[in-house]
Amino acid sequence: MTGPELPRTMLAVVCHGPYDYRLEELPVPQAEPGEVVIQVQACGICASDIKCYTGAPLFWGDDHREPYVDTPVIAGHEFTGRVVALGEGAAEKYGLQIGAIAIAEQIVPCWNCRYCKDGKYWLCQVHHIFGFQKVVQGGMAEYMKFPGNSLIHKVPNRISPAQAAVVEPLACSIHAVQRGEIEFGDVVVIAGAGTLGLGMIGAARLKNPGKLIAVDLIDQRLEAAKNLGADLGLNPTQTDVVEQVLEMTDGYGCDVYIEATGHPSAVEQGLRMIRKAGTFVEFSVMREPVTVDWTIIGDTKELNIHGAHLGPYAYPLAIDYIDRGLIDVSQVVTHQLPLEKYLDAFEMVQQGTNSIKVQLVP
């Protein structure tokens, strides 16, 4: 099923290697059976995109790991768009029609590995993520295709494209908060008040913790955190945040600590700040391997260490919370730039001082 006739070519930001991203003219993708083609309305730039751009070993490999990125590939995994073509069976499978607004989860599972068959599709052994492998081209383009194995969600038209493109990071934030197993009365610290950390603040607020604390180096982001429900914002450049949290908890420490900065120092900070038998959630994609004193985790504090990866089963929640205004993501999107300005946008995200979420708008 097709809508209006599509152009033959489109512009796209193509990753060829570290610091080698190019604006290219490529063929517009076609919808094969079970596939969906959208006209992209907005695509956010994630911190992981910048780590990939700057050559982090996690993406490009080193002595200990194989390269994760398969080039050339169109970048981008935080996207939304209007459906312009539906392959045979896709309309029925996804409940979509031409003109609907749709997003796809960032992972395209194989559905055949042990994890997929066990319902843990987000841990898929094959692990194709939009914007990093050629078989799942990303959203920094005028058009993009959702392959047949995709997890696709319809978005209400009343949600703006800027907000719809935040569904992916918000789903990740919700999953991280779920991993924190927050209880009534808990003191919760979220380190990092970027897009993901702010989403975690909004989601954690819905859990009604006893005290919700945001930690970040930038006061503007701490103010945004307060607007989203944080009781307190702490800036490590202005105060000893570990000492302050210990003081307000009678020396015990916080019950739940969620790390969303991507900086190794925040891991050590959390281990010092959290109480015995507390829950530490590690979400960030670190640029380099991080070393900590594992004695604290085991013998000293007997901590519950939970990883958090992607946003499984959380997309419908993220869409609903945005739609109902339960998590206000409007203040998260601070900048939108045209596709042609992608290098300026990357630089803005890399600096991180005057922006939160930067999006490209084809």
> Sorting pLDDT into bands at 50, 70 and 90, what band is 262?
confident
Helix (H) or strand (E) segment spanning residue 143: strand 143-146
Residue 68 scores a pLDDT above 70 = yes
SS3 (DSSP) at 287 = coil
Q: Is the pLDDT higher at 58 or at 18?
A: 18
Residue 132 scores a pLDDT above 80 = yes
In this prediction, residue 1 carries a pLDDT of: 62
> Sorting pLDDT into bands at 50, 70 and 90, what band is 283?
very high
In whole angstroms, give the CA distance from residue 361 to residue 121. Answer: 30
Residue 66 scores a pLDDT above 90 = no
Residue 289 scores a pLDDT above 80 = no
**Share above pLDDT 70 across residues of the chain, in percent, rounded to a whole number:** 99
In this prediction, residue 94 carries a pLDDT of: 95
> Sorting pLDDT into bands at 50, 70 and 90, what band is 288?
confident
Contact 199, 172 (CB under 8 A): yes
In whole angstroms, give the CA distance from residue 252 to residue 47. Answer: 33
In this prediction, residue 63 carries a pLDDT of: 65
In this prediction, residue 3 carries a pLDDT of: 65
In this prediction, residue 290 carries a pLDDT of: 83
* DSSP per-residue letters across 71-131: SSEE--SEEEEEEEEE-TTHHHHHT--TT-EEEE-SEE--S-SHHHHTT-GGG-SS-EETT
Structural domains in the chain, CATH included, are 9-166+332-361 (3.90.180.10), 171-307 (3.40.50.720)
Q: What is the mean pLDDT of the chain?
A: 95
Span 171-212, pLDDT tens digits = 999 999 999 999 999 999 999 999 999 999 999 999 999 999
* DSSP per-residue letters across 229-250: T-SEEE-TTTS-HHHHHHHHTT
DSSP state of 299: I
Residue 71, phi then psi, degrees to nearest 5: -100, 160
Contact 174, 311 (CB under 8 A): yes
**Share above pLDDT 90 across residues of the chain, in percent, rounded to a whole number:** 90
SS3 (DSSP) at 223 = helix
Residue 109 scores a pLDDT above 90 = yes
Question: For strand 187-191 and strand 211-215, is the pairing parallel, antiparallel, or unpaired?
Answer: parallel
Helix (H) or strand (E) segment spanning residue 48: helix 47-53
Contact 343, 22 (CB under 8 A): no
Q: Is 8 exposed, middle or buried (0-12, 13-18, 19+ CB in 10 A)?
A: exposed
